[in-house]
Amino acid sequence: MSFLKLFPWMAVPVVIYNILALGGLAFSSVEAIRLRLDTDFLVIPIGLSASWNITPGHALICCSIIMLFIEFMKSRSISSINVLSHASSIFIFVISIVEFLIFPAFATSVFFLIMLMCLMDVVSRLTLLSAFLRHGDE
């Protein structure tokens, strides 16, 4: 159970994106990753004449939102495990920022939104930690 509390769930979408961005031995170009992210992989008929087209990019953003929710639920209490989890969340955010700035395959809107969710995870944890410390002094 403590592994589930310690594991940085926002690493899941970052790792999945890294797997998608790997093209052979080197990182893919921006065009190649955009093509991978924007190609429909699931089409669900809606009503009589409409369909819902889901791309890997949409699925990855949906996965990221779910992982962010799990991270929010984990960060409700303060413990030594949560401090380690917070440190790993900061590490995941720093890794994602470096990838976004250095590698062309990571310069997409999908990865930017994942990186933004990583930032929201870090900021929410810092906010909760500062509120806990502030109320602990009273």
What DSSP string runs through 15-45?
HHHHHHHEETTEEPPHHHHHHHHHS--EEEE
User: Is pLDDT larger for residue 4 or for residue 120?
Assistant: 120
Beta-strand (E) ranges in the chain?
22-23, 26-27, 42-46, 50-54
- Tokens (6 digits) for 21: 């961005």
Confidence bin at 34 (pLDDT 50/70/90): confident
The predicted structure's pLDDT at residue 69: 93
With contact defined as beta carbons under 8 Å apart, do 81 and 62 qualify? no
Beta bridge partners of 26: 23
Give me Rg for the CA atoms of the chain: 18
Share of the chain above pLDDT 70, in %: 88
Residues in the chain: 138
Question: What does pTM read for this prediction?
Answer: 0.85
Q: Give the amino acid at 18.
A: N
Residue 31, class by beta-carbon neighbours within 10 Å (0-12 exposed, 13-18 middle, 19+ buried)?
A: exposed
| pLDDT tens profile 50-87 | 999 999 999 999 999 999 999 888 877 666 667 788 88
Has residue 26 got a pLDDT over 70? no
- Tokens (6 digits) for 123: 């900021």
Instruction: Find the angle CA(72)-CA(73)-CA(76) to the nearest 5 degrees.
Output: 90
Average pLDDT on 98-119 reads 94
User: What's the whole-number average pLDDT of the chain?
Assistant: 85
User: Is pLDDT larger for residue 40 or for residue 24?
Assistant: 40
Average pLDDT on 23-48 reads 80
The predicted structure's pLDDT at residue 136: 60
